Structure 1
């Protein structure tokens, strides 16, 4: 059973999904163009986990919450969520940009974070030569989802799965995830500026990971987008993180998954479950 609560933040109200289980709550933070149903696969792999999963401002149930958009603002929003749920100190699991938000939260308020599980994110990605304009151009296709209307979730799924992907079009968890994106008017509830501003902040202004003090576990994908693509985190980069951060307790790669399916698949979700239970 999923319960939706609403949490007041600067500029509006966040929608937060609570999936009650038998464990201590885990704050689960989705990525740049995603929503709270990103954790469908983790819930399926570990239904005993208690997940507190917000839609970040500018996305899905929190679409009406405007800017500013930044890692720091999202971290402040997550503190409001913890306060609203009366959670003193929690495990935080973040995927992609959500992992960067998780790191920012742990640096800002280490007393509120018990430990971190970072899924293909949280540490700097290669950004040599990138400019804000180049990042915005790269993320423009994701940001443009708001610009069109879809007749139903099937039409949106066809659009969403265009291009290289390991996602399973027949997966009902994917259908539920995509349905959560759509408003009653058939348009995607995703603010263009939320995607673009957050992408720039994530890639060009990552948090100072070397200052982390809470126990941290990193999970990376073998590929970035589709089979045989270069990973977001090559082995040499992961080795650098391990050497530079005593708090990084483990770093492992999940074979046979790309960035999206590092959580949006049974294989990826099971690997995340293993780090949380």
Structure 2
């Protein structure tokens, strides 16, 4: 993020959360990133919407936020996000979440409806019909992310090349915003280093999303208006998506008084935020949330 303010929020057990805020003229927006990302995920949104007052923390075990000593859970991330609001003296916010961040956002709204005004969910937050059923399957499904941890990357370019080839094939490896985003992953930034990602936390969080009823229970308890923007593909053109149109329609049929949904065609999961066209669509959805009376 450019022209941002950095804050460290202390949590129980000596943990700290690294928080960035890019001040703007809109009401404050809390942004929650995905499973293997950091607050750098929001670079494209910030460029698309320079007026948005955006607050984004590195989730525990990612970036500059220290990992938990116990099991990482969606509920734990929710309480961390509330602590961020308290530290910044923000009473109530609009929340945008991507992937894992969308599941955190829904559970936050369900558990703390007084702190959340609206939700903008980007390819996540709604329980998935087709999902892994065992922890070993999760480790296999996220082998590309876990594989990042085995290398001391010689420079940022090598790391960017790996991420695009293994995780997000539709991203542009020459995009300066991608370089800025991924530099925050690395110990030495543009000079490379180890990826600042706790592998155990990644699998713990994925297990909470896929192997428990947490997401379904939070959606049932939701009382805050939400928009879901979902991608046509998962990891590249033609790949099966996280959500089909029929699956989303079934959710809207049950929760239609709160949940609205729209398809983002021609984009995969990463492209919902990490491309200029995806960020434009995400910001349009966010602005609709901000405009709600």
Q: Would you say same fold, with TM above 0.5?
A: yes
Could you tell me which residue of structure 2 aligns to residue 143 of structure 1? 146
Q: Pick one of 159, 172, 185 that aligns with 2:176.
A: 172
Q: How does 1:56-135 map to 2 (within 5 A)?
A: 56-127=59-130, 130-135=133-138
Q: How does 1:1-277 map to 2 (within 5 A)?
A: 1-11=3-13, 12-127=15-130, 130-163=133-166, 165-184=169-188, 186-205=193-212, 206-207=214-215, 208=217, 209-277=219-287
| Stretches of structure 2 lacking an aligned partner (at least 5 in a row) | 288-293
Cα deviation for residue 145 of structure 1 reads 1.6
Give TM-score scaled by structure 2 length.
0.91
Report the Cα distance in structure 2 between the residues aligned to 1:250 and 1:23, rounded to whole angstroms.
22
String of CA shifts for 1:232-259, please: whole Å, max 9, x gaps. 1101110111011134342001111100
| Stretches of structure 1 lacking an aligned partner (at least 5 in a row) | none
Stretch deviating more after TM superposition (254-263 or 160-169)? 160-169
Contact 2:232 2:263 in 1 (8 A): yes
Structure 1 residues 167 and 22, CA, compared in 2 at 3 Å: closer, same or farther?
A: same
**What secondary structure is seen at the aligned counterpart in 2 of 1:110?**
coil
**What secondary structure is seen at the aligned counterpart in 2 of 1:6?**
strand
**What secondary structure is seen at the aligned counterpart in 1 of 2:96?**
strand
Cα deviation for residue 65 of structure 1 reads 4.9
Cα deviation for residue 269 of structure 1 reads 0.7
Aligned-residue RMSD, C-alpha: 1.5
Contact 1:67 1:194 in 2 (8 A): no
String of CA shifts for 1:25-45, please: whole Å, max 9, x gaps. 100000000000100000011
Contact 1:32 1:96 in 2 (8 A): yes
Cα deviation for residue 61 of structure 1 reads 1.1
Give TM-score scaled by structure 1 length.
0.96
Structure 1 residues 66 and 174, CA, compared in 2 at 3 Å: closer, same or farther?
A: farther
